[in-house]
């Protein structure tokens, strides 16, 4: 947990007064929200667009003003976590189930910073099952089409029922083992009827903050 704390602490240094932020999701972001809340108490003036219902609740709880895309058209900075980060800053995300809103928020920002503990650094994406957000209707059909790309696509479960995202959609966790061509795979999956978004976040990241137990490294 300390590594996540160190990454979050470093990321807060990039937040400036007056910024409109994109707020990611996950346990590292939860720590970031706490730290941002402390700075808001000290007088920092920021607003955030949230990438999940949970983040929104937490942000408000920490005194951070939450806005949305009906009020702002561009974000100064988005900060988000990741499940895997490769040496080219390509990301695999969605372990927490918020990938679609996260991607909408993260691409709307002028700068995108990833916060991750060092366990998230990988040479190649794909050991972590790739989350793919799909329409519930006919998900079995979508599953079969995805599996034709050489993975097992497992419907995410929550207490014996399908896990439902903030968008009312399902998630298929796709066990590829390794992903040799992330861009090709993302494009192929996106072209399937029933697929709404994949957890491959490609060519988006400006900076990666890697937390360790005793500090954080900034990679750019
Ligand atoms: C949620 C995500 C998270 O950013 C990702 O799962 C990392 O989470 P954590 O900070 O808890 O390790 O993509 O959809």
- For 53-79, the pLDDT digits (tens) are 999 999 999 999 999 999 999 999 999
Contact 50, 75 (CB under 8 A): no
User: Does residue 214 contact residue 165 with C-beta atoms inside 8 Å?
Assistant: no
Strands 91-92 and 47-50: unpaired
Q: What is the CA(69)–ligand 1 centre distance, in A?
A: 22
Q: Which atom of ligand 1 is nearest to the CA of 117?
A: 12
Closest CA to 31 of 53, 57, 2: 2
Ligand 1: which atom is nearest the Cα of residue 24? 4
Amino acid 45: pLDDT: 97
Q: Nearest-CA neighbor of 142 among 71, 75, 194?
A: 194
d(CA 106, ligand 1 centre) in Å = 13
9-37 per-position pLDDT tens digit:
999 999 999 999 999 999 999 999 999 99
Q: How far away, in angstroms, is 84 Cα from ligand 1 center? A: 9
Ligand 1 atom index nearest CA of 81: 4
Confidence of residue 185 (pLDDT cuts 50, 70, 90): very high
Handedness of CA 69, 20, 56, 136 (dihedral sign): positive
Interface ipTM above 0.95:
yes
214-220 average pLDDT score: 96
- Ligand 1 neighbours (beta carbon < 6 A): 24-28, 80-83, 93-99, 102
Q: Mark out the alpha helices in the chain (DSSP H runs).
A: 2-12, 27-41, 53-61, 99-107, 139-147, 182-190
Using one digit for the tens of pLDDT, what is the confidence trace for 102-137? 999 999 999 999 999 999 999 999 999 999 999 999
The catalytic residues are 102
pLDDT greater than 90 at residue 1:
no
Interior angle at CA 83, CA 156 and CA 218, nearest 5:
165
Angle between helix axes 2-12 and 27-41 (nearest 10 degrees) is 40
Residue 107 makes CB contacts below 8 A (sequence gap 6+) with 204
Tokens of 103: 């991607």
User: For atom 1 of ligand 1, which residue has the closest CA?
Assistant: 96
Cβ atoms of residues 153 and 130 within 8 Å? no
Q: What is the pTM of this model?
A: 0.97
Q: Distance (Å, rounded) from C-alpha 54 to C-alpha 212? A: 26
Annotated binding site for substrate: 25-28, 80-83, 93-96, 120
């Amino acid at each position: 947990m300390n590594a996540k704390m160190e990454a979050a602490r470093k990321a807060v240094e990039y937040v400036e007064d007056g910024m409109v932020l994109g707020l990611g999701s996950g346990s590292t972001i939860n720590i970031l929200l706490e730290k941002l809340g402390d700075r808001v108490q000290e007088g920092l003036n920021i607003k955030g667009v949230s990438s999940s219902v949970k983040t929104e609740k937490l942000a408000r709880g920490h005194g951070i003003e939450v806005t949305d895309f009906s009020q702002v058209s561009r974000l100064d900075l988005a900060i988000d976590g990741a499940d895997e980060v490769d040496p080219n800053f390509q990301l695999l995300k969605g372990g927490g189930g918020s990938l679609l809103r996260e991607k909408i928020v993260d691409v709307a920002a002028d700068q995108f910073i990833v916060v991750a503990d060092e366990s998230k650094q990988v040479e190649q994406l794909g050991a972590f099952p790739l989350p793919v957000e799909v329409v519930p209707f006919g998900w079995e059909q979508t599953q079969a089409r995805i599996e034709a790309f050489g993975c097992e696509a497992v419907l995410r479960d929550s207490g014996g029922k399908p896990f439902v995202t903030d968008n009312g959609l399902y998630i298929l966790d796709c066990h590829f083992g390794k992903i040799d061509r992330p861009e090709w795979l993302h494009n192929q999956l996106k072209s399937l009827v029933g697929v709404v978004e994949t957890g491959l976040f490609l060519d988006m990241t400006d900076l990666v903050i890697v937390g360790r137990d005793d500090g954080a490294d900034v990679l750019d």
